Amino acid sequence: MASSVIEPLKNIHEEISETDDMFIIMQKLCTLNIQNLEQTTKVNDCRELGRAVDIIAGAGQLLFFAMAGSGGLAMDACNKFMRTGIPCMVQTDSHWQAMYASLMKENDVVIAFSHSGSNKELIESITIARNKKAKVIAITGSPISPIAKVSDVVLVSYGKETMFRSEAMGSRVTALLVTDCLYTGVCLQRKDTTLQVLEKLRDSIARKRY
């Protein structure tokens, strides 16, 4: 079923050659990232982004779920959203995900990261959360993947594959863009609370710096 939905990866060889110096390689990769970011802004519906912001802003708690390489994205998102004053937690282990999902309530929210959108264990955890009436927001490279079928809002992080970088690697930058958009939108809705939390966080780490 999933294999019929997810298109197989193809190596799209960008024009980077062995004769390119590191400056040229950097320029070409920068151009590729810009193209991915621009494509991500085109494929996402602003109304869905707004709906996701509204859901998050009203959340009792936020749980960030991801597996393997997407784990860093979930950790980054959790680090951002803790500044909004909403209780946050990140889980990248399927067993812990399932346990925490089973304790979720109606106003809780799962934000799940999966480039393929077809990780079985992640989808099982999300389904448990949905059965507890929690909302699910998926950030994925495929809007028609299995994860989309069990999510309330689906946001796309576009990534183009190259010779040495898979689509999943290319989409990390765009997933950060989507996360930043959601975070900024929630901050605007929770401005006073966010500013108070930011002040507390600055005070807490100030003593750790020289």
**Structural domains of the chain, ranges and CATH numbers in brackets:** 46-159+167-205 (3.40.50.10490)
Cα–Cα separations (whole angstroms), residue 3 to 8, 116, 119, 149: 8, 10, 12, 15
Whole-angstrom distance, CA of residue 107 vs CA of residue 99: 17
41-100 per-position pLDDT tens digit: 999 999 999 999 999 999 999 999 999 889 999 999 999 999 999 999 999 999 999 999
Q: The pTM is what?
A: 0.87
Span 166-208, pLDDT tens digits: 545 668 899 999 999 999 999 999 999 999 999 999 999 888 8
- In this prediction, residues 140-156 reach a mean pLDDT of 95
Helix, strand, coil percentages, rounded to 5, for the chain:
55, 10, 30
- Over residues 98-143, the pLDDT tens digits come to 999 999 999 999 999 999 999 999 999 999 999 999 999 999 998 9
pLDDT at 24: 87
Place 31 in a pLDDT band, splitting at 50, 70 and 90. Answer: confident
Sheet containing 135-140: give its strands across. 88-91, 62-66, 109-114, 135-140, 153-156
Q: What is the pLDDT of residue 207?
A: 85
- Is a pLDDT exceeding 50 seen at residue 8? no
**Given this model, what pLDDT does residue 10 score?**
37
Copy the structure tokens of residue 59: 């959340």
Instruction: Please list, in sequence order, all residues whose beta carbon lies within 8 angstroms of the beta carbon of residue 96, skipping any fewer than 6 positions away.
Output: none
In whole angstroms, give the CA distance from residue 188 to residue 114.
Answer: 27
